Amino acid sequence: MRILIAHDGSPLADAAVKETLKTTWPAGTEVHLVTVVEWPVAFEPPYPDYPGPAIDKIHEILVDKAKRTLASAAESIAARRDLKVTTALREGSPKHALLDAIEAWKPDLVVAGSTGKTGLKRLFLGSVCHALVTYAPCNVLVVKPPLQH
């Protein structure tokens, strides 16, 4: 079994990891954690108004944070000796980068946390989970936030 977990460092991404760990998987199951470093819109190339060293520093900070996030999530999965864990850091649009990772790694299951955006936020920001459910060639488990009453 091959499970790809989309992890963005959010509490819901951690919930996706926890949900994955609740299940007993077949021996030899591989878990591939993927996080995507997305440039803030103001800093996407071309960026003629910003000095190179400042852009490089922002990039370094974003990549460092993503690496720490991946390492922490991988550590919790590695505690399960029956699971093999690998990580990947990608850059770009989360939707496209995750779909590329799915195409390259060919998981049997994708697990992702949904932030539950609705209305205009979803229209303008898009939904990574919606893209995964629509375009992934395998099953997708969406971990949703708890209902608030």
pLDDT band at 146 (very low <50, low <70, confident <90, very high): confident
Q: Higher confidence at residue 41 or residue 61?
A: 61
Helix (H, G, I), strand (E, B) or coil at 78: helix
Give 110-119 pLDDT, tens digit per residue.
999 986 555 5
Cα radius of gyration rounded to whole Å, the chain: 16
pLDDT for residue 41 is more than 70: no
Query: Which tokens go with 16?
Result: 């996706």
Give the residue from 89, 138, 97, 111 showing the smallest Cα distance to 31.
111
Query: Which tokens go with 32?
Result: 């591939």
| CA 73 remoteness from chain centre | 11
Q: Report the predicted TM-score, pTM, of the whole model to 2 decimal places.
A: 0.85
Give 47-106 pLDDT, tens digit per residue.
555 556 777 788 788 899 999 999 999 999 999 989 999 999 999 889 999 999 999 999
Cα(35)–Cα(118) distance, rounded to whole angstroms? 23
The percentage of residues in the chain with a pLDDT greater than 70, rounded to a whole number, is 81
Average pLDDT, the chain: 85
Give the residue from 23, 20, 24, 1 showing the smallest Cα distance to 12.
20
pLDDT for residue 44 is more than 70: no
pLDDT band at 147 (very low <50, low <70, confident <90, very high): low
Superfamily of domain 2-143: HUPs (3.40.50.620)
Q: Where would I find the H helices in the chain?
A: 11-21, 52-78, 94-105, 119-125, 128-135
Cα(10)–Cα(130) distance, rounded to whole angstroms? 17
Residues 6+ apart with CB under 8 A from 37: 59, 62, 63, 66, 89, 90, 91
